[in-house]
Structure formats: structure tokens, C-alpha cells
Amino acid sequence: MSPKDLAFYKAQQTLITFFKRCSTIKHIKQVQAHVFHTGFHHDNIVLGQIILFCSLHKHMNYAVSVFNKVHNPDTFIWNTTIRGFGNALQPQKAFDFYRRMLREKTALADTFTFSFLLKIVASFGPIILGKQLHCNVVKLGFETHAYVGNSLMHMYGMLREDETARKVFDEMKDPDLVTWNCVIDCHVHCGKYKEALELFTRMVDAGVQPNDATLVVTLSACGAIGMLDFGRRVHDFVQETGLDEVTEVSNSLIDMYAKCGVVEEACETFWRMRRKSVVSWNVMIFGLATHGDGREALALFARMLEQNAVRPDELTLLGVLCACSHGGMVEEGRRYFDVMNREYNIQPTMKHYGCMVDLLGRAGLVEEAYRLIKSMPMECDAVVWRTLLAACRVHGNILLGKKVRSHLLELKADHSSDYVLLASMYASRGQWNEMSRERKSMQERRVQKPEPGNSLIGIPGTGLEKVTLERLS
């Protein structure tokens, strides 16, 4: 390297170092002024650092203004700009730049280009756009690239196309850990929990060692369909490998045990944890609350505050209100709802209001629940109105039930339960004409009852319960 080239390289690296130290757009503009002063305003590597900062911090207007000054932008600059629009929740502009990249032909799209675009489609859709990108990937021969293949699977999984995601996986040669994690996560996201556990077993049989990410998603599948025995075997592996020291894995174990109905084992796992995050406390509080152990849930919340372990967040308070609702503790629920904003600086969301409506409705305080809904700072959704309508049905308040029903009609949220609940109220009071009128209205609006649901229980010694995990060592 000549002395001139060496001096240029050192000056270029100095500017890049300055950019990496920047934390605000003001700092970037100051360094950019120095860029012009030193004559680097046509250097793609330096300008790329400006665009990179703007993309990561969502200053896309400034990024575009810099981009338009770049002569013959390279693939890195195109990719960084596309990625920035995805981070800034501007998918249309990301694809506008992709089309512009194809049109101007200053650089070729590479594996990172498609990975960024597929991630954007995964978040915003539509699926047809993702399939068009898939065609481009195949056309350019990138479908065998692990990074692109994983992005394709993730995109299809997030858009509920699990069968296509599985086909992409089956076409990949020698899938690595990341690829296995991706396909398992896709099936869990699509509600195909049994298939996810089968894939986990295949992965273990293939000799691929699971990591903490694998275990978190696998345990969530176990909890979703009550595969307690399978979950316990995964727990054995967690303890053998020391991964129980990973907070996220222990949180998943607590959640799995709680959803499978063995709260005692969830508590044991919780108290064995050396480091507990706010998620750990939240999961345990919810687990106790949903199994009717409301007093224990509130005691755990009190202990969390006494130890000053972590600061409660909105989910913590949601769990506390859920505990009050399931335990019929009206006064405690009112008190915690009242102090949410004042003591913890947490603004109640729709879910918090929904818990309070459920709490008051269970206690027969339907008029108070109605007043609470009317005082909400946001428009009430159909779920909360239906919670109140169900409470009116239980406590026989037809007058308020009709009023709640009118609010549901205003939302244009026709659901069979709205008609059935009100018709049942009329029937319980012997008002058969009104009941018939409600049923007829349901038929005229062509509102159909949903398909019957299914229940599932795991029987030891059958199906997936037979799967052994000896190879998890």
C-alpha cells in the first residue's frame, strides 16, 4: 500500500470510528460536515455509515437525502436503506427502493437483500408478495442459501403458511440448528404444536443439539397442548446441560407446568431460579391466578415488591387483576386498579379494563361495570362488551343486557354468542316472544354458530408420550 493510499485508509477509518460513536442525528450531521471538509463526501463506505445509523435509528428522511447524493450506490447501501424502511415500519417504501435498485442496476441484489425483504413481508404481508420474492430467490439460485431459506420459512410461518414453510425446510440440505429452530417456531406460531414436537424429536435424532431458543419454543408447544410428560423430559435435559441457568428457559418451564395444571412444579422451578426477571414473576403470578390461587398470587406480588426484585410492568398488574377476578376479590381489585397509574406509572389498557369488568361482573356489580366501561379513555371493544353481556345473563339483568347488546350492534361485531346470551335471558324470564325475535334476528343476519371445539388430553404411553429423549445428552 502506497503512503497516499495508507493515509486515505487511515482517514477513512477515523471517520468510520466517529460514526460508530454517534448516538444522535445531531452528532451525525456534525461528523458529516467533517466528511465534506475532508473530501470524503463521494466515498461510498463513509456515506454508507451515515445511512446505516439513520436506518437503525429510523431517521429515514435523512437517510434518503444522503442516499440521493451517492454516486453508483453499492449493494450494502441499497440493503441498508431497504432494511431501514422495514425498521421504520414503511414497507411500501422498502419495496419502492427494491424496484429502484432493479431499475438503476448499480448493484445486484444478494442474499441480504432478500432476507431483509422477506422479513418485511413476514411483518406486513401480503403473502402474494412473499411468493413473488420466493420466485426471484429461486431464479437467482439463492434458495439453497441457509440465511435466505430460514428467512423464507420465517415469512411463510408468520403468514400462517406452515405447509409451504415445511416444504422449504424439506428442500434444505443438512439443516443446522438455526434452521431447525426456525421450522419448529413456524409450526408453533401456526398452532401446529404436535408437528412442532415431532420436528423437535427429528432434530434430536439427527444429532443436532438443542439450544436455549429451541427449548423455549418447544416448551411453549408442550404447554399449549398439555404434553406434560414430554415437557418433563425436556426439563431433565435442561438440568443435565445447565441450561436452567438461562432465565428465559426457566420462564418457559414455569409457563409449561402452569398450563399443564401442575402449579406445584411451576412454583418449585420458580423458587430454584437464581436470577428472576419481571417475566419470571409475571408468569408465576398468572399461573397461580388462572388456577384459582388468587391469594397466593397476590402474596407473590407483595413479596416481589418487598424484595424490590424488579419493577412491575403492565403485565404484572394484569396478572394481579386476573387473580382478583378469579378469586372474587373485588375490593383488592379496585385498590390495585386505582394505584396502577398513581404508584407504578402504568396506564390501564383495554385488557386491564376487561379484567375489571370481569371482576365486577362475576360479583354481580354489572351496573358498576357498565359505568367503568363508559369512563374508559378509549373506545371499548367487542370482547369487553361481551364479558359484560355474559355477566348480565348470569345475574338476570335483562334491561342492561339489551343496552349492552345495542353497543355491540353499533360496533357491527355480529357474533352468535351475542344473540344466544340475550335470547337465554329472555327465556329465563319466560319472555318467549322476545326470545323468538332475537333468534329470528340472528337468522335474518345469517349469523352462524362457530364449529364445535375439541379437547385434548395426553395419555401416558401413547402417541408422542412414547417419544424418548435419551439422545438429548
- Please tell me the CATH code under which domain 351-445 is placed: 1.25.40
State how far the alpha carbon of 428 is from the alpha carbons of 40, 246, 364, in Å.
82, 54, 17
Q: Closest Cα to residue 222, out of 240, 182, 249, 246? A: 249
Euclidean distance between CA atoms 11 and 1, whole angstroms:
14
Q: Closest Cα to residue 260, out of 301, 210, 219, 295? A: 219
- Residues 347-362 as b/e (b if ≥16 CB within 10 A, e otherwise) read ebeebbbbbbbbbbbb
Q: Per residue of the chain (473 residues), what is the pLDDT tens digit? A: 677 667 766 767 777 776 777 778 887 887 777 677 676 767 778 788 888 888 888 899 988 988 988 888 999 999 999 999 999 999 999 999 999 999 998 899 999 999 999 999 999 989 999 999 999 999 998 988 899 999 999 999 999 999 999 999 999 988 999 999 999 999 999 999 999 999 999 999 999 999 999 999 999 999 999 999 999 999 999 999 989 899 999 999 999 999 999 999 999 999 999 999 999 999 999 999 999 899 999 999 999 988 877 889 999 999 999 999 988 899 999 999 999 988 888 999 999 999 999 999 999 999 999 999 999 999 998 889 989 988 998 888 888 988 888 888 777 656 666 667 777 777 766 777 776 776 666 665 666 556 655 555 555 555 544 444 455 54
Q: Closest Cα to residue 322, out of 350, 347, 285? A: 285
Q: Closest Cα to residue 186, out of 159, 211, 154? A: 154
* Largest interatomic CA distance in the chain: 99
State how far the alpha carbon of 132 is from the alpha carbons of 125, 128, 136, 140, 419, in Å.
12, 6, 6, 13, 43
Query: Per-domain residue ranges for the chain?
Result: 277-347, 351-445
- What's the confidence (pLDDT) of residue 393? 86
Euclidean distance between CA atoms 425 and 403, whole angstroms:
13
Peptide bond into 210 cis (omega under 30): no
Question: At CA 83, angle to CA 81 and CA 84, rounded to 5?
Answer: 65
Location of C-alpha cell 466515498: 43
Residue 163 one-letter amino acid: E
Chain-centre distance of CA 339, in angstroms? 28
Straight-line distance from the first to the last Cα atom of the chain, in angstroms, rounded to the nearest whole number: 52
Euclidean distance between CA atoms 331 and 360, whole angstroms:
10
pTM score: 0.80
Euclidean distance between CA atoms 84 and 60, whole angstroms:
7
